[in-house]
Structures are given as structure tokens and as C-alpha cells.
Amino acid sequence: MPWLSIRRRLLFNMCQRIIRNPFLCFNILFLTIIIVILTFRTSNIQQKCSLDQNIAQQQNISYKSSLNKPVIFIGGMPRSGTTLMRAILDSHPLVRCGEETRVIPRVLNMRAAWKKSTLEWNRLMAGGISESMIDSAIRAFVYEILLQHNQYADVLCDKDPFVLKYASYISSIFSNAKFLLLIRDARAVIHSVVTRKVTITGFNLSDYRQNFKVWNKGMETMIDQCTLVGKDKCLHVYYEQLVLQPKKTIENILKFLNLTWVDSVLHHEELVGKKISLSKTEHSSDQVIKPINLEALTKWIGHIPDDIKNEIDTLAPMLKKLGYDTQSDVPTYGVADQLVLSNMNNLKENAEFWDAKAKAYARHLPNDTSLFQNHTNN
Ligand code: A3P
């Protein structure tokens, strides 16, 4: 075969030899199979690695985006309508506040105490516990509680009345936090504390003078904090306006929170026991089951001792500063919406139904009540 080159001839000879030698034939076949398997496995491993990388990236993205969820903090002096406010927001499909966490204000309080004590703070710094370390740990703690307590809602929300004392710190660790500061006539707040026997640190169930001073100090701190974080992040919500003109007030609140209007926010009572869960250890549960109403608006009138009334501007100057009429024994807070008037009719006409529902949600502490004593909140 002269037309074949020497190389081709060699190859031809080799093939002939392979065909004639079954052992060599088997070896070559075996080697080929091994090479095919190895190539296949390598490509699989590469694919799996890139898949794992993808999943990790996705998880990282969702973790990061969940860290950026908007957070609403609702606070104010206890008995100022904070539970009503959170129930109203709970009836928005994107938001969940839930019951008081109780642990969030405590952790913030603890951090504030470390910071306040120069000795303790210096010790922490000397021991290698830096301020940024503390901040990121507190942020992680608060965020984890909110995320899980709020069942991973789109907009997280916390209602623990005293959180507003730490608004500027919270704002520094949660850049996208917004705050609602509930404000209510001090006379109504104190009447509520005394008649409902709500135990709050600083308040004394038989000392009106002390109570006005404590309310004043608390409000001063919270208003200052609200001012510090700025108008775009902290909104004053007057209880009286909320219950007299709910539509206008809630519209304003939702706009401030960048949330769209939904009619359900005007009828939170329909979602109690469904989207809205209430704790039997909280003092307001058996009131918040009702539609927005005026039952509590002027209950305090006629119950403030005369000597206190005369001294009110000295005991609680914040009351006048916040726009309340401290001179009148019967202040007027505004005109009620038709919706609220029909809610009042509903409560009157179906009194038995609402009483039974209120009984079902009445405050009931677990057996070991010692756990609930000496708390900073009711
Ligand atoms: P009173 O104790 O004067 O009745 P907080 O939840 O911040 O402790 O506030 C409690 C106050 O909010 C209570 O005031 C309660 O009546 C009022 N409140 C709760 N639910 C309400 C509702 N559906 N309509 C109007 N006020 C309500």
C-alpha cells in the first residue's frame, strides 16, 4: 500500500495487533470507561459546586434583604393607646406587631446602663468588647426576636411602650426604623393606671402628685428622643385624635410609614383571634377586642384631686406643651367621626356580646406571679 504514509502504516499495524490480542483489547476498553466516568464526575462536581455557590449566594441575599426589612417601633407612656395602635397596624396585611416582647426594652435598658456607667464601659473596652461589637450583638438580638415573633412579616413591628426612650439609639442600629409615639392626656393615663391598678416602675397607685411627675419625665425623654431622630422617622400620634377621627389619623400614619391604605385598619376588631393575637397577661387585651370607641376618652373627668388640678402645670408642664387644655375641668378633644359613633351604638346594642368577649380576654396571670413583679412595665 504505497499511498499510506509511514505514520498511518504504523497505526494500521498497531490496530491489527490490538485486534489479534484480546487482553490488550480489554485493557484499552477498561481505560476508556474509566476516563469517561472520571470526565462525567468532574463535570458533575463542577456543576454541584456552582449550584451550591448559587444557593449560598441566594441565602446571603435573602439574609441581607431580611436584615433590611422595615421596622416600626410603637411606644409611649403605658395606658396611652399603644395596644390599640398595634392592633390597628396588625390589621394591615403587610405588618405584624404582635404582643409585647418585654425582652427588647430590657436589652436596650441593659445596654444603656453599661454605657451610663463609666467604670463598666471602660472595663468592657479594656476587655476587648468594643462598642461596635455590642451594637451589632444588640441589633442581632432585637432583629431575631422581631423576625421570629412577627412570623417573618414584610414589615416588622414592635410594641413595647418604653422602647421610645431609646429611639435615637435604635435609629443608629436600624437605619430603616420608624417610630410612632403615642401621646395621651396625662390625667387620663394616670386615672387608668390608678383605677386598673397597673404596676409600672415609678408610678404609685395612691400618689397622684408622684404619678404626674413620672409621666412628665417619661414624656420629656420620649419627645426629646423623637425630636432627635427627626420628623421623617418619628411621628406623634395623639390617642384622642386616633379614637375621635380614626380614618384621617390612620391615613396619616400609613402615609408616614409608606404603607398603602386598606379598609381593614378601620375594623381591627374583626381580626382579633385571627391575624391579631392578644396576650392574656397584658392589661389592655379586654379593651382592644372592641372596635375603636370613646369609652375611655373622658372617664378621668371628675376624678383628679383638686390640689393636683391646681398644680398641674408645675407637676406636668409637658401636658400644656403638648397642647392639652390644663385649665378646663372638662376639656374638649374634638368631634367624633360617624364611624366611631356607630361603633359606640354597636357596643351599646350588643353589650352582652362585647362583655362576654371582654371576659374571655380578661387579664389572667400564670400561677407563678412572682415572675411578673418588679417589672419596668405593666
Ligand atoms: P383606659 O385604661 O383609660 O380605658 P395601652 O394599651 O397603651 O396601655 O392603652 C390602654 C388604653 O387604650 C385604655 O384606656 C383602653 O381603654 C384604650 N383602648 C384600648 N382599646 C381601645 C379601643 N378599641 N378603642 C378606644 N380605646 C381603646
- pLDDT (0 to 100) of residue 377: 46
Give 80 Cα–ligand 1 centroid separation in angstroms. Answer: 7
Whole-prediction pTM value? 0.82
- pLDDT (0 to 100) of residue 258: 98
Same domain, 27 and 137: no
Among 77, 79, 86, 354, the mutation site with the greatest number of ligand 1 atoms within 8 A of its Cβ is 79
Mean pLDDT value of segment 278-288: 95
Q: Which residue has the cell 371628675?
A: 302
Same domain, 92 and 33: no
- pLDDT (0 to 100) of residue 374: 39
Confidence of residue 218 (pLDDT cuts 50, 70, 90): very high
Same domain, 199 and 318: yes
Ligand 1 atom closest to the CA of 291, numbered from 1: 23
243 lines ligand 1 (CB under 6 A): yes
pLDDT digits (tens, 9 = 90+) for 254-279: 999 999 999 999 999 999 999 999 99
266 lines ligand 1 (CB under 6 A): no
Is residue 6 domain-resident?
A: no
Give the span between the Cα atoms of 335 and 87, in whole angstroms. 23
Give the span between the Cα atoms of 358 and 355, in whole angstroms. 5
Is residue 264 domain-resident?
A: yes
> 231: burial class by Cβ within 10 Å (0-12, 13-18, 19+)?
exposed
**Is 270 among the catalytic positions?**
no
CATH of the domain at 274: 3.40.50.300
Least confident of 54-68, 122-136, 156-170: 54-68
Kindly tell me if the per-residue pLDDT of 33 is higher than 80: no
Is residue 297 domain-resident?
A: yes
- pLDDT (0 to 100) of residue 42: 52
How remote is the C-alpha of 347 from its chain's centroid? 30
Asked if 156 and 92 count as a contact pair (C-beta separation under 8 A), the reply is no
Same domain, 213 and 329: yes
**CA-based diameter of the chain, in Å?**
131
343 lines ligand 1 (CB under 6 A): no
Residue positions counted in the chain: 378
Mean pLDDT value of segment 13-39: 65
Q: How many domains, in total, are found in the chain?
A: 2
Ligand 1 atom closest to the CA of 243, numbered from 1: 25
pLDDT digits (tens, 9 = 90+) for 170-213: 999 999 999 999 999 999 999 999 999 999 999 999 999 999 99
Give DSSP secondary structure letters for 90-146.
HTSTTEE--S--SHHHHHHHHHHHHHH-HHHHHHHHHTT--HHHHHHHHHHHHHHHH
**Range(s) of the domain holding residue 58:** 17-66
Kindly tell me if the per-residue pLDDT of 308 is higher than 80: yes
Same domain, 106 and 239: yes
Q: What is the DSSP letter of 181?
A: E
